[in-house]
């Protein structure tokens, strides 16, 4: 199989370049991550990428394969056009090879106060929540913070410092939607901003790439609806 992989190392590779690799590898049933590991173990130890769970739940290995942001560990090799071109996630600073600096991404996540705020005294047992209320959280809490969506969003490319991006907004809505949270007003105050929220133009790139099948655009729409409701 043939691969073209983005290489960069501030120390040994001054300028980013694409490197070609070819190995014997039976793609049947295998994923892109398997091939990356085979390349690293067999051909080139210096090839650098993140990985952990190897089953699409930890969000470590977001990369751009043939122009699309994916998790390497759940992307089948079969059916990919060769040479398979693998690049780091777009727009974030590259630390080395396929590893990007996610600091900005995490900062936006922290900015939405991603934790339950409820100042009532805690009851002896659980706070009750009906299955319907709980269903409001489905499609929100499953986010694995892989960054595939945010780095595919043109609005984020243009204003990475100020637009929160789909992942952070999804998490922002995760807590607004939680029947146990008491800070919706505060959260909406924070989000009502031409940059943080209103940079989203509904381009839907985020929905298209999310490996967990989540829908940030819809969540963003719901935040806007709540803002309108509140304003009227």
Partner 1 sequence: MRQVGGAHRGLDLWLVQRVSAVYMALFLPVFWFCRAGTGYTGWHALFLGLPMKAAAALFVAALLLHAWIGLREILIDYVHPLAWRLPLYFLFALAYAGCLVWAVDILWKVQ
Partner 2 sequence: MIPKRRFDAVIVGGGGAGLRAALQLAEAHLKVALISKVFPTRSHTVSAQGGITAALANVSDDNWHWHMYDTVKGSDYLGDQDAIEFLCRNASSAVYELEHMGLPFSRLDNGKIYQRPFGGQSQNYGGAQAIRTCAAADRTGHALLHTLYQRNIAARTQFFDEFFALDLIRDADGYVLGVTAMEIESGEPWVFEARTTLLATGGACRIFRHSTNAHINTGDGLGMVLRAGLPLEDMEFWQFHPTGIPEVGSLITEAVRGEGGFLVNKLGEKFMANYAPNAKDLASRDVVSRAIAQEIRAGRGCGVHGDYVDLKIEHLGAEKIKARLPGIRELSMQFAGADPITDPIPVTPTAHYMMGGIPSNLHGQVVSPAHYGPEEPVPGLYAAGECACVSVHGANRLGGNSLLDLVVFGRAAGMHMIEYLRENPIPRPLPLAEVEKSMARLARWDRRGGTETVAGLRGEMQRVMQDHCGVYRSEAVLLAGLEKLTLVAARLTDAAIHDHSKHFNTARLEALELENLLPIARATLVSALARTESRGAHSREDHPGRDDKQWLRHSLYFCQNDQLDYKPVKLKPLTVETFQPKERTY
Contacts with ligand FES, residue ranges (CB under 6 A): 51-54, 56-61, 71, 73
Please provide the size of the chain in residues.
232
What would the two tokens of residue 106 be? 């995490």
Map residues 167-206 to x or -, x wherever contact with partner 2 holds by CB under 8 A.
--------x--x-xx-------------------------
Residue 144 CB, shortest distance to ligand FES, in Å, is 7
Q: Does 102 bind partner 2 (CB under 8 A)?
A: yes
Q: Does 204 bind partner 1 (CB under 8 A)?
A: no
CA distance 176 to 184: 5
204 touches which of ligand FES, ligand SF4, partner 1, none (CB within 5 to 8 A by kind)? ligand SF4
- Choose which of 47, 153, 177, 223 interacts with ligand SF4 (CB under 6 A): 153
214 touches which of partner 2, partner 1, ligand SF4, none (CB within 5 to 8 A by kind)? ligand SF4
Q: Does 195 bind partner 1 (CB under 8 A)?
A: yes
Q: Does 143 bind ligand SF4 (CB under 6 A)?
A: yes
Give the residue among 202, 176, 203, 200 at the shortest CA–CA distance from 190: 176
Q: Which residues of 81-110 are buried (b: 16+ CB within 10 A; e: fewer)?
A: eebbbbbbbebbebbbbbbbebebbeebbe
Q: Does 110 bind ligand SF4 (CB under 6 A)?
A: no
Of the pair 197, 214, the CB lying nearest partner 1 is at: 197
71 touches which of ligand FES, partner 2, partner 1, none (CB within 5 to 8 A by kind)? ligand FES
CA distance 219 to 217: 5
Question: Cβ distance 148 to 89 under 8 Å?
Answer: yes
Map residues 154-193 to x or -, x wherever contact with partner 1 holds by CB under 8 A.
xx--xx----------------------------xxxxxx
Question: Cβ distance 101 to 168 under 8 Å?
Answer: no
Q: Return the SS3 of 77.
A: coil
Cβ partners under 8 Å of residue 53, min gap 6: 60, 73
Of the pair 23, 53, the CB lying nearest partner 2 is at: 53
Give the residue among 72, 52, 53 at the shortest CA–CA distance from 62: 72
Q: How many CA atoms lie within 13 A of 66 on its CB side?
A: 13
What would the two tokens of residue 122 be? 């805690």
Binding site for partner 1 (CB under 8 A): 107, 111, 154-155, 158-159, 188-199, 201, 224, 227-228, 231
């Amino acid at each position: 199989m043939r691969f073209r992989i983005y290489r960069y190392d501030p120390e040994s590779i001054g300028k980013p370049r694409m490197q070609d690799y070819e190995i014997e590898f039976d793609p049947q049933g295998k994923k892109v991550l398997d091939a990356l590991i085979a390349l690293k173990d067999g051909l080139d130890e210096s090839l650098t990428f993140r990985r952990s769970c190897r089953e699409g739940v930890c969000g470590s290995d977001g990369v751009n394969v043939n122009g699309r942001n994916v998790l390497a560990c759940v992307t089948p090799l079969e059916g990919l056009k060769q040479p398979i071109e693998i690049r780091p996630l777009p727009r974030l600073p590259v630390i080395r090879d396929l590893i990007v600096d996610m600091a900005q991404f995490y900062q936006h996540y922290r900015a939405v106060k991603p934790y339950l705020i409820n100042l009532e005294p805690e009851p002896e047992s659980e706070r009750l929540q009906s299955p319907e209320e709980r269903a409001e959280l489905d499609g929100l809490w499953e986010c694995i913070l892989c960054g595939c969506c945010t780095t595919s969003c043109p609005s984020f490319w243009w204003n990475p410092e100020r637009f929160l991006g789909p992942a952070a907004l999804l998490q922002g809505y995760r807590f607004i939607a939680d029947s146990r949270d008491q800070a919706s007003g505060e959260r909406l105050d924070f989000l009502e901003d031409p940059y943080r929220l209103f940079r989203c133009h509904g381009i839907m790139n985020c929905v298209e790439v999310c490996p967990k099948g989540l829908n940030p655009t819809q969540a963003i729409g719901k935040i806007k609806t709540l803002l309108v409701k509140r304003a009227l």
